[in-house]
Amino acid sequence: MNNEIRIKNGIVFDPTNGIEGKVGDIFIKDGKIVSKVSESAQVIDAKGMAVMPGGVDIHCHITGPKVNLARKLMPEDHRLDPHFKTPNTQSGSGGIVPSTFATGYRYATLGYTTAMEAAVPPLTARHALEEMYDTPIIDNGFYVLLANNLFLQSLIAEGRNEEFKEAVAWWLNATKAYTVKLVNPGGDEPWKGHKNLNVKDIDDKSKVVDLSPRKVIESFIDAVHELGLPHPPHIHCNNLGHSGNYDTTIETMKTAGDRRLHVAHIQFNSYAGELGKSPKSASKEITDYVNDHENITCDVGQVMFGKAMFMTADAPLTYLLRGYKKEKWVNADTECESGCGILPFDYQGMVYTHALQWAIGLEIFLLSKDPWRIVLSTDHPNGGSFQNYPMVMKLLMDYEFRKEAMKHLNQKAMNSTILGELKREYTLNEICIITRAGPAKCLGLKDKGHLGVGADADITIYDMLDDKEEMFNAPRYVMKAGQLLIANHEFISDYTDKKVLRVAPEYDRDIEKVIKPFFDDFYSVQFANYPIDDEYLHGTGVVIETKKKKSIHENK
């Protein structure tokens, strides 16, 4: 069978390789981009259409135990948004937390072909991998929650740095993760063990071990740097969601020094004002710091109005938010490792705080100077569904549309921001960077996010439309690893040969002897049954090389 494709005369956007909207051809063979194909290659006429690499979502919550709890929690939401079966694809349920099949197909219909699950407890990582196998089309990887791991904390507290590093490497291997995720470091123990308390500050010592969140963060940045993971620690900072938290965020970034750090959904950590009172925007303070420090990357976590679902390892925050409406709420503690809170939510344009959050996210996008280090995300489903991405793109690309939108929102909030004064409009090339080239680079994925020879042939072709939301909502063609899946907006085939991206840093096997006694005492599963074997990758695992880098721009 001929597996060659030639995309002819498209307007190519490939920022990684310096191509910005130039008409040209792209050649595909055996799932990769090549320099030429034979005469018999299938031809796709892309005249007048934008050709881009497939989208890369650096931060979303789409597979794993907490996602599935949230799915189970929302029958009323699924019912409103059925996902129909087609001759080529399976049925599913949509809504704010879609079923796995629907998740894969819906990402594809936005032109996204890679999505990273941002928070999985090690103990239940098998579950995340199992769901990934049932999430069609898109490549996945996940970040493993380690910051509140009691054993690792004890190594930090005792200053056993070398063993700590080895143990982190062991955990990454045992769970098949992509990088380390830090969520509200130090916050689990006061929550679970001290009647629902929380840490208040990055230098607040946890009640159990004599350890500040800052020390935990620093240790992980050190270890991950030493291990040379392609993506640095991915952090959900302390005090997320609280007024006045921008200070904590800047302190967190400072802790990194000149080593790399990815700050997740930074919008939720860019609030000025007094704790317990209404927030104000601190987008300026935050973007100033990010702009000046090449070692920092972040994704925005844009809030979009309508349904959302809090789904986070930051359990105390979720419980605090539950207090407003006393909505149905899930808390799920994972022994020795993590907490989790789930709460359905609704962002409303007329509510001061929600409107302000929306504005702060956009301000961060518009004030940041290096599009390569700021990634589009809604922290799906925490700030809203990933299905809002095309709308976010339109907001960024269209000043008039933004102004119009602001008229319908809480005016007190709008008046307290500088959003109306920011006239910047993102270009198509910049959109291509913040949704594809940039996140791929932040993740250290050399074969994704670009269209150079050797790249994975994950390609999206959009009709050039004036309404950018419409444009990005319905690509005319979507291709995954060289297989044409969507043609003329319809699924023409299913694709299940998706990949799981992970790292496998080397470690000293003797570390298992240090870890095992803790397991025997405090875990409820056997140490031998804890590491996940390769079968769970179904032959789809791709190991991404580990190598130290100080900024994503290094070796440019």
* Site residues, another protein (CB under 8 A): 63, 65, 67-69, 71-76, 78-79, 82-85, 87, 90-93, 95, 97-102, 123-124, 126-127, 130-131, 134, 150, 191-196, 319, 327-336, 342, 521-526, 528-529, 532-533, 535
Provide the minimum distance between the beta carbon of 140 and another protein in the complex, in angstroms, as a whole number.
Answer: 13
Neighbours of 85 (CB within 10 A): 11
Provide the minimum distance between the beta carbon of 174 and another protein in the complex, in angstroms, as a whole number.
Answer: 12
Determine contact, residues 278/353, Cβ cutoff 8 Å: yes
Pick the closer one to another protein by CB: 93 or 283: 93
Provide the minimum distance between the beta carbon of 307 and another protein in the complex, in angstroms, as a whole number.
Answer: 14
Residues 6+ apart with CB under 8 A from 474: 109, 463, 489
Neighbours of 554 (CB within 10 A): 11
Q: For the chain, how long is the longest CA-to-CA vector? A: 70
Rounded Cα distance between 101 and 93, Å, is 8
Pick the closer one to another protein by CB: 208 or 514: 208
Provide the minimum distance between the beta carbon of 75 and another protein in the complex, in angstroms, as a whole number.
Answer: 5
Provide the minimum distance between the beta carbon of 198 and another protein in the complex, in angstroms, as a whole number.
Answer: 12
Provide the minimum distance between the beta carbon of 137 and another protein in the complex, in angstroms, as a whole number.
Answer: 15
Rounded Cα distance between 424 and 514, Å, is 54
Pick the closer one to another protein by CB: 95 or 241: 95
Please report the DSSP string for 228-256 in residue order.
T-SS--EEE-TTTT-TTTHHHHHHHHHHT
Pick the closer one to another protein by CB: 150 or 474: 150
Pick the closer one to another protein by CB: 127 or 165: 127
Element (H, E) at 361: helix 352-367
Provide the minimum distance between the beta carbon of 219 and another protein in the complex, in angstroms, as a whole number.
Answer: 21
Rounded Cα distance between 267 and 241, Å, is 9
Alpha helix (H) ranges present in 377-502? Answer: 389-397, 399-407, 411-415, 428-432, 438-443, 468-473
Provide the minimum distance between the beta carbon of 203 and another protein in the complex, in angstroms, as a whole number.
Answer: 25
Rounded Cα distance between 476 and 478, Å, is 7
Provide the minimum distance between the beta carbon of 172 and another protein in the complex, in angstroms, as a whole number.
Answer: 18
User: Which 3 state secondary structure label does DSSP give 192?
Assistant: helix
Pick the closer one to another protein by CB: 137 or 431: 137
User: Which 3 state secondary structure label does DSSP give 483?
Assistant: strand
Provide the minimum distance between the beta carbon of 529 and another protein in the complex, in angstroms, as a whole number.
Answer: 5
**Structure tokens that stand for 329 in this block:** 């709420």
Distances (CA, A) of 182 to 72, 221, 237, 313: 26, 10, 8, 9
Pick the closer one to another protein by CB: 175 or 267: 175
Pick the closer one to another protein by CB: 103 or 551: 103
Neighbours of 183 (CB within 10 A): 28
Pick the closer one to another protein by CB: 506 or 520: 520
Residues 6+ apart with CB under 8 A from 393: 376, 426, 431, 435, 468, 469, 472
Sign of the C-alpha dihedral computed for residues 94, 100, 102 and 106 taken in this order: positive
Cis peptide before 381 (omega within 30 of 0): yes
Pick the closer one to another protein by CB: 39 or 535: 535
How does strand 500-502 pair with strand 341-347?
A: unpaired
Distances (CA, A) of 336 to 142, 154, 510: 20, 11, 21
Pick the closer one to another protein by CB: 64 or 185: 64
Provide the minimum distance between the beta carbon of 525 and another protein in the complex, in angstroms, as a whole number.
Answer: 6
